[in-house]
Structure 1
Amino acid sequence: MTTAMTLPETSERYDRRQALELLADLPMGELMALAHRERVRRFPGKTVTFVVDTNPNYTNVCATGCAFCAFFRQPGDADAYLLDPREVAQRVKIAADKGATTVLLQGGHHPRVGLKDWQAYIEAIHSACPQVHIHPFSPAEIAFMAEKTHCPVSEVLQALWDAGIRTIPGGGAEILTESVRRVIAPRKAGTEQWLDVCEQAHRIGFKTTATMMYGHVETDGDIIAHLLRLRELQDRTQGFTSFIPWSFKPGQSPLARRVKHPVHPARYVRIIAVARLVLDNFPHIQSSWFSENIPAGQLGLLAGADDFGGVLVEEHVHREAGHDRQATVANVVTIIRRAGFIPARRDSHYRIRETFDPPVTVGTGGGA
């Protein structure tokens, strides 16, 4: 089935069957056109946003040992580390001096790091860089912290709120089906736990992102199930700000023995487009130069995405998997312009802070 697929009326939503047909069967050009039309309907201008951020992992020790991760170390490994709050604050200060406005603060599921340690990291960063927005601790980490400290998730979240935190990264979602999680992350928070942390966070007032890591052992059905679970929760809370997919990078991860090659970048573009159409209650869809490659990121902007992710000053997890990307603000501005859009720097609440010159239309005499 290709163009004969039955699409919903404008006022209707894509159901599971229709979403599967979008992902598996609709020709790429038609899918991209549908998604771009929806993006333009919701964001009539040509602005594409990005944020300047940094991701200084405070530890690489993690008790979950996920099969897809090349970054984690066991306690006692020669290259295991745990940074103290002062060291993390120094790294954030260096990044802030280079233009970073947000710190994505994540580590692992460290068995010796407690809630007071988290609070100390936040306080140290606030003290050293009061202007930097702190975007810390994924739902999976929060579930782990609640279990380890024998307190409800709500208490962990309230402690973060009281410390001034207002946004939470949506990491650890991977694929929100248990059949997949049993293979790639059996010791990490399950589907219901991840969704429950997000729901409780949204009820308190936090805004969160939502991620998806595909390209390993999941099926098309798992991807659509993931999107529909996110959509159901967003219907209840309206707490998600954006959807951020990325592909599995085998690298030196344990899962590389089973999944030897990364998925083709065309898959990324299809997922961006399907997400824009299925996640009709999500404000933003992110296409990233960083997680895939520049052409795939640019095509994602023509397939429904309105955000281009971050200019990472410091990043380690993808680098450990052999996926190293470097860029500056000038690079990202140029990449966005060459895709035909107007670049704009945003903050973590998706408020535009600076808009750059639009691209020059070729053949108008406006310059090279």
Structure 2
Amino acid sequence: MSKIDAILDRALQGERLGLEEGIALWESNEIEKLGHVANQLMLAKHPKPITTFVVGRNINYTNVCDTYCRFCAFYRQPGSNEGYVLPDETIFQKIQETLDVGGTEILMQGGTNPNLPFSYYTNLLKEIKKRFPTIHMHSFSPAEVVKMMEVSGLPLEEVIRQLKEAGLDSIPGGGAEILDDRTRRKISRLKGSWREWMDVMQSAHRHDMTTTATMVIGFGETLEERVLHLLRVREAQDQTGGFLAFIVWTFQPDNTNMPREKLGAEDYLKAVAVSRIMLDNIPNFQSSWVTMGPEVGKQSLHFGCNDFGSTMMEENVVSAAGTTHKVNINLSLELIREAGKIPAQRNTHYQILRVFDSQEKSDRDFIMQN
């Protein structure tokens, strides 16, 4: 039995893999074998041939940011003529449009805008919940929460408490990039340590909010740093159990200050597989069709992913870097079926709202209801 076979066999037996084993998996060129084992581990958690998706919308409420990440093509520095903060009424209109098509989730994210007081966020959340009590606010990445601490002078636990009280339901995993400070200092000197990102997430978990965890590869990080990222997420999940999903994608270098060669489909699929094999305590893995395209997204459903992410009515950050794959509801259904799966709409908590088993009837009913 080869070294890789022995490692994969241990994973299938339920043994936890460590740093050296994770590096060995990433060094392996046997991508199909990694994918097969990752798929088996996914099926152990999700035995039904169902792939879920959420109908949601990204709302980028501001592009003003004083973190200046080298890899971001979206932000504008404070004082820029191209900087904006969306009017509240525009945000309300976007939420109403989301509800009108059967959407359930709003992923509201922006830059770390130093000109917005903490009351901006709490008042906005309260107004949203007053108008749209059923919408799930999956919003504000850890970097934004840290900026709220900075402008308010409040400790982390109090910021999280007030956000939840105002109407925040869960926190997205953006800004994790690579959870190792060597790479973080290289790509985003002002963004804060990996520990700071994790502190926000674990505080949210303590306040009974769920979050997601993410990883972006392709910054020039080492394989060891990638595996350390996974181990740090896994350890935190052991402590608080609040990560509902894991999402990995590749750095999109176009239009950024970090010109690099873009990683390909094989790099992405290997990352998905290794992550599923290492992260034995996170139930859901989202496919990253936004960055990788629909066809690779479809492949990822056989490499450890059980979820197709959001239909995303709107997305501005990744598309600013030249990646503009858009998937609507009907195309999501089609791609999931082409992958040999049954599509199902879920909410943010991964509760299934509707299964599209009979194609003609279910699709017709969905369109008529929305």
Bucket of the pairwise TM-score, normalised by the shorter protein: over 0.9
**Deviation, structure 1 residue 5:** 4.9
Which residue does the alignment assign to 2:332?
Answer: 332
Q: What percentage of residue pairs aligned between the two structures are identical?
A: 38
Q: Distance in 2 between matches of 1:24 and 1:296?
A: 21
Q: Distance in 2 between matches of 1:248 and 1:57?
A: 19
Amino acid at match of 2:262: P
Long gaps (5+) in structure 1: 361-368
CA distance 1:88–1:270, shift in 2 (3 Å) = same
TM-score in terms of structure 1 length: 0.93
CA distance 1:169–1:242, shift in 2 (3 Å) = same
Q: Is the helix fraction higher in 1 or 2?
A: 2
**Deviation, structure 1 residue 291:** 2.3
Do the aligned residues in 1 keep the contact of 2:140 with 2:172 (CA within 8 Å)?
yes
Do the aligned residues in 1 keep the contact of 2:114 with 2:147 (CA within 8 Å)?
no
**Deviation, structure 1 residue 2:** 6.2
Amino acid at match of 2:298: Q
Which residue does the alignment assign to 1:274?
Answer: 274
Q: 1:149 aligns with which of 152, 156, 173?
A: 152
Amino acid at match of 1:144: K
**Deviation, structure 1 residue 36:** 0.8
Amino acid at match of 1:195: M
- How many residues end up aligned between the 2 structures? 357
Which residue does the alignment assign to 2:365?
Answer: none
Q: 1:217 aligns with which of 215, 220, 244?
A: 220
What is the CA RMSD across the aligned residues, in angstroms? 1.6
Do the aligned residues in 2 keep the contact of 1:343 with 1:358 (CA within 8 Å)?
no
Q: Distance in 2 between matches of 1:352 and 1:6?
A: 34
- Work out whether 1:250 is the aligned partner of 2:253: yes
Q: Distance in 2 between matches of 1:325 and 1:127?
A: 33
Which residue does the alignment assign to 1:75?
Answer: 78
Deviations 1:220-271 (A, max 9, x none): 1111110000000000000100001111111111112xx1x21011111111
Do the aligned residues in 2 keep the contact of 1:337 with 1:359 (CA within 8 Å)?
no
Q: Distance in 1 between matches of 2:152 and 2:231?
A: 32
- Work out whether 1:128 is the aligned partner of 2:124: no
Do the aligned residues in 2 keep the contact of 1:126 with 1:132 (CA within 8 Å)?
yes
Decide which moves more: 142-151 or 220-229: 142-151
Which residue does the alignment assign to 1:172?
Answer: 175
Deviations 1:71-100 (A, max 9, x none): 000122221101132221122222322332
Q: Runs ≥4 in structure 1, deviation > 6 angstroms? A: none
**Deviation, structure 1 residue 50:** 0.4
Which residue does the alignment assign to 2:205?
Answer: 202
TM-score in terms of structure 2 length: 0.93
**Deviation, structure 1 residue 130:** 2.5
Do the aligned residues in 1 keep the contact of 2:123 with 2:166 (CA within 8 Å)?
no
Which residue does the alignment assign to 2:289?
Answer: 289
Which residue does the alignment assign to 1:235?
Answer: 238
Q: Distance in 1 between matches of 2:226 and 2:6?
A: 19
Q: Distance in 2 between matches of 1:174 and 1:331?
A: 29
**Deviation, structure 1 residue 3:** 4.3
**Deviation, structure 1 residue 112:** 0.9
Q: 1:101 aligns with which of 79, 82, 104?
A: 104
Q: The residue matched to 1:108 in structure 2 has which SS?
A: coil
1:339-358 equivalences under 5 Å are: 339-357=339-357
Amino acid at match of 2:308: F
Do the aligned residues in 2 keep the contact of 1:2 with 1:27 (CA within 8 Å)?
no
Q: Distance in 1 between matches of 2:174 and 2:202?
A: 15
1:299-314 equivalences under 5 Å are: 299-314=299-314
**Deviation, structure 1 residue 24:** 1.5
Long gaps (5+) in structure 2: 361-370
Which residue does the alignment assign to 1:12?
Answer: 15
Do the aligned residues in 1 keep the contact of 2:343 with 2:357 (CA within 8 Å)?
yes
Q: 1:112 aligns with which of 91, 104, 115?
A: 115
